[in-house]
Chains A and B, each alone.
Chain A
Amino acid sequence: MVAIAPAAERIDGAVVFTDIVGFTEYTALRGDSEAVALLSVQERIVREELPAGARIVKELGDGLLLWFPDACAAVRCALALQHRFDVESGESGLPLWVRMGVHWGQQTRRRDDIVGHDVNLASRIVGVAGPGEVVVSGATVAEIDAALPGVAFDELGPVFMKGIPAPVHLFRALAAS
């Protein structure tokens, strides 16, 4: 008997990767229980800020893979999350130094997971961001097409990333003052 895989469903959406900078060192210094507490704070804030239609696809150690049906919502949410993390860090002293990468593209749904080149690309973009930053791909900016008032995109230029054959044009998203 031959097992037949269900047809893969292709979807368009914005993939957001988050990563807590310094989490390994924090865990080594403060222990597992405080590290888990830090993750819980991150998760609580993310769940409070996620708009309707968006979801946490999966947890990746100290990071999260988020999916949004809309690029504007993804960038708006990422910036709101950074603001919340900054406030939380200031008040509690917790090192919620989160960096984020956003990429609009096509993904393949595999049960509750999403896979594909555009997911891999988003996972590389987060590595370009510094703590507190939201870095987005040119594809994301093109999809937004100036439809996100109050947000500016600072051009970072062509960035070469491991495993990605061509340089990718990236931008730093920031709340316009």
Chain B
Amino acid sequence: MGVSLRALAAIIDSDLWGQDEVPKHTVSVPVQGQPRLFLSTRSGKVTVVAESRDDFLIETNKGQATIEQDASGRLSVTAGASTVDIDARCPAGTDVIAGTNSGRVELVGDFGGVRISTGSGGIAIDRAKSVDARTTSGSIVVRDCGGRCRMKTVSGRAEVASADRAEVATTSGRISVEQASGDVRVRSTSGTVDVGSTGSGDVEVDTISGAVTVRLPPGVHPDARLETFSGKPRCECDEGSDCCVVIRTMSGDIRLLTA
């Protein structure tokens, strides 16, 4: 059963806006169980900060967002047709689900499971246990993902600095997986692909025309299969059976390097 926070929570209308700014209001809601946030706004920006605290603190445009907490404790903030920014503060480890059409989504701090989708807005995630991020033309940048990092774009770039497992798909967007400790699966139509692996997981990359570079640490000897129809394959690694690296492309060049 949904409970309106107008009745449930202490509403602290903050008189922080100036004459030309959109009036805001701020709501503090106690956390129940595993903290979970559900955020939806068509064109506003979403910013979530995870920090050491035991409540949710939500700031939105006054009167233009509905804030509800369901019986499971999940807090939902949903905005209608107008541009509504959502600023949230939550406990570290919070699970976040968020969707926008054109607004940017930015998550700062340590999060649990994260699911984000945008149309054209960029997505930036600091640290999370798992990530599923999807956008059409926005870019996705993830700093650290402790588990599976799944990213999908059409034309935007997809970058993760550090992840366990990575699953990435783009049409023309550039893909960069700086360091993965688990399995990596990449598919791109024409975007360039750059993957760094610790060699403790398998790497599989498919492109139609994008160039592919995969880097392994010195001393890792992969079972490598490099297939290109019209590109140039180049392998600098001594082969072995430490991990499996499969790279297939129609026309892009392939490089398997020791970094």
Could you mark each residue 156-172 of chain A with 1 if its beta carbon is under 8 Å from any beta carbon of chain B, else 0?
11111110000100101
Contact of B99 among A22, A26, A130, A158 (CB under 8 A): A158
Given contacts A155-B97, A158-B40, contact A29 B209 (CB under 8 A): yes
Q: Are B187 and A21 in contact (CB under 8 A)?
A: yes
Given contacts A29-B229, A157-B117, contact A167 B189 (CB under 8 A): no
Contact of B117 among A95, A128, A162 (CB under 8 A): A128
Q: B118's closest neighbor in chain A, by CB? A: A160
Given contacts A154-B132, A158-B99, A160-B42, contact A130 B169 (CB under 8 A): yes
Given contacts A130-B152, A154-B132, A167-B40, contact A160 B206 (CB under 8 A): no
Q: Indicate whether B98 reaches chain A with its CB closer than 8 angstroms.
A: yes
Given contacts A26-B250, A29-B229, A29-B250, contact A160 B132 (CB under 8 A): no
Q: Are B206 and A97 in contact (CB under 8 A)?
A: yes
* A22 partner residues in chain B, CB cutoff 8 A: 171, 189, 208
For window 243-259 of chain B, which residues contact chain A by CB distance below 8 Å?
248, 250-251
For window 135-177 of chain A, which residues contact chain B by CB distance below 8 Å?
154-162, 167, 170, 172
Q: Are B250 and A130 in contact (CB under 8 A)?
A: no
Q: Are A156 and B134 in contact (CB under 8 A)?
A: yes
B138 shortest CB reach to chain A, Å: 12
Which residue, A25, A30, A155, has most C-beta atoms of chain B within 10 A? A25
* B78 partner residues in chain A, CB cutoff 8 A: 158
Assembled-state Cα–Cα distance A131/B169 (Å): 7
Given contacts A30-B250, A130-B187, A131-B187, contact A160 B100 (CB under 8 A): yes
Q: Indicate whether B162 reaches chain A with its CB closer than 8 angstroms.
A: no
Assembled-state Cα–Cα distance A84/B208 (Å): 20
Q: Are B209 and A157 in contact (CB under 8 A)?
A: no
Q: Indicate whether A53 reaches chain B with its CB closer than 8 angstroms.
A: no
Q: Indicate whether A93 reaches chain B with its CB closer than 8 angstroms.
A: yes
Q: Are A172 and B132 in contact (CB under 8 A)?
A: yes
Assembled-state Cα–Cα distance A66/B101 (Å): 28
List the count of A-B residue pairs having beta carbons below 8 Å apart.
81
Assembled-state Cα–Cα distance A1/B251 (Å): 61
Q: B103's closest neighbor in chain A, by CB? A: A160
* B221 partner residues in chain A, CB cutoff 8 A: none
Q: A162's closest neighbor in chain B, by CB? A: B119
Contact of A160 among B119, B169, B209, B248 (CB under 8 A): B119
For window 14-47 of chain A, which residues contact chain B by CB distance below 8 Å?
21-22, 25-26, 29-30
Q: Indicate whether A132 reaches chain B with its CB closer than 8 angstroms.
A: yes
Given contacts A26-B208, A29-B250, contact A156 B187 (CB under 8 A): no
Assembled-state Cα–Cα distance A132/B187 (Å): 10
Given contacts A21-B187, A25-B190, A95-B206, contact A158 B171 (CB under 8 A): no
Assembled-state Cα–Cα distance A157/B167 (Å): 18
Given contacts A29-B250, A93-B227, A131-B187, contact A159 B208 (CB under 8 A): no
6 other A-B residue contacts (CB within 8 Å) besides A156-B132, A158-B78:
A30-B250, A158-B38, A158-B40, A159-B117, A159-B134, A160-B100
Give B residues with C-beta under 8 Å from A. 38, 40, 42, 78, 97-101, 115-119, 132, 134, 136, 150, 152, 167, 169, 171, 187, 189-190, 206, 208-209, 227, 229-230, 248, 250-251
